[in-house]
């Protein structure tokens, strides 16, 4: 799912292309993308773009007369830009947004249709769909601490809860926790003040660094290849590969369609966290430390 750095880049690139420009029409190719009935989609036609805003992980396009188009890309939704006069890609799109200067398309990989489009009739309506997560770059340590400890959750859950923090998802939460050297299963109300300060600094640094990195990679081009898995990441999507800090193989916890990646040496004092599927299968044979896990993986070892 595109997270804060990716959404920021989308907004910056769209800002250079469509702010002040007129939206001439929208071709809704998959009708299930649209989740609202009023105002009608056609009410957006002919209006100029005045604002762009990030609402959590959503992209909000503000048009004249306080009308808003809100895109939620979910896991597999991606945006693509084609300047006026250039050939629009033949890849299957859920919608095409025609502007005076070009075409914006929304695609979604896979067969599941989770991406969504909302048409909202006022800024007040836009505010009502905001999950209310804290904005990392506009808060201080005290506000971060208060929000983090509002309830007693694991760090992984707290960071990815859109009602607690804005724009952080599965990928960057892994990177943040690795940078802070904290376990994804540590409980928020059991952290020391030093731990929380470390986490606050790591959250800001990781999001800031990745935004700058993606900005540099895109240059003046519209961002393509948006993905949650990048080879430069420290732990996310790097199961079994060496941690760039200490060389220990990165481990994972799998659940539903997601997984949490972490370094046992840097984050959990050498402990291997229980993977729900495998730990149920292995029960008492589940390794408790990275050394035990490595012995299990040694040639000739029985699983």
- What integer pLDDT is reported at residue 130 of this predicted model? 96
pLDDT tens column, 53-88: 999 999 999 999 999 999 999 999 999 999 998 988
pLDDT tens column, 114-145: 999 999 999 999 999 999 999 999 999 999 99
- What integer pLDDT is reported at residue 302 of this predicted model? 41
- What integer pLDDT is reported at residue 110 of this predicted model? 83
Q: Where are the domains of the chain?
A: 4-128, 139-303
- What integer pLDDT is reported at residue 92 of this predicted model? 84
CA–CA gap between residue 2 and residue 171 (Å, rounded): 9
CA–CA gap between residue 242 and residue 240 (Å, rounded): 7
With H, G, I as helix, E, B as strand and everything else as coil, classify residue 95. strand
CB 172 within 8 A of CB 179: no
pTM > 0.85: yes or no: yes
CATH for 4-128 (3.20.190.10, 1.10.760.10, 3.40.50.11540, 3.50.50.60): 3.20.190.10
166 upstream amide cis, omega within 30 of 0: no
Which class is 139-303 in CATH? mainly alpha
**Residues 129, 127, 210, 175: is their CA dihedral positive or negative?**
negative
- What integer pLDDT is reported at residue 293 of this predicted model? 45
Low-confidence ranges of the chain (pLDDT < 70): 256, 275-303
């Amino acid at each position: 799912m595109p997270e804060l750095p990716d959404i920021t880049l989308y907004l910056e690139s769209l800002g250079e292309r469509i702010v002040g420009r007129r939206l001439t029409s929208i071709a809704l190719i998959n009708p299930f993308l649209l989740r609202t009935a009023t105002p009608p989609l056609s009410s957006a036609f002919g209006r100029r773009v005045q604002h762009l805003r990030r609402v959590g992980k959503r992209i909000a396009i503000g048009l004249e007369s306080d009308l808003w188009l809100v895109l939620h890309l979910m896991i597999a939704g991606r945006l693509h830009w084609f300047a006026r006069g250039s050939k629009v890609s033949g890849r299957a799109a859920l919608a095409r947004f025609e502007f005076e200067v070009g075409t914006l398309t929304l695609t979604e990989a896979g067969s599941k249709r989770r991406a969504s489009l909302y048409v909202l009739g006022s800024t007040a309506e836009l505010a009502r769909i905001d999950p209310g997560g804290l904005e990392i770059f506009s808060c201080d340590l005290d506000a971060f601490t208060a929000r983090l400890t509002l309830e007693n959750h694991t760090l992984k859950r707290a960071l990815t809860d859109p009602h607690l923090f804005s724009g952080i998802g599965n990928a960057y939460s892994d990177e943040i926790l690795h940078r802070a050297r904290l376990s994804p299963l540590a409980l928020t109300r059991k952290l020391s003040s030093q731990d929380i300060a470390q986490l606050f600094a790591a959250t800001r640094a990781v999001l800031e660094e990745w935004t700058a990195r993606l900005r540099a990679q895109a240059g003046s081009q519209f961002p393509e290849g948006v993905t949650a898995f990048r080879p430069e990441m420290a732990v996310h999507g790097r199961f079994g590969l060496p941690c760039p800090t200490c060389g220990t193989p990165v481990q994972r916890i799998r659940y539903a369609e997601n997984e949490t990646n972490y370094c046992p040496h840097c984050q959990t004092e050498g402990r291997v966290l229980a993977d729900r599927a495998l730990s149920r299968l292995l029960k008492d044979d589940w390794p408790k430390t990275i050394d035990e896990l490595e012995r299990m993986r040694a040639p000739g070892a029985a699983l």
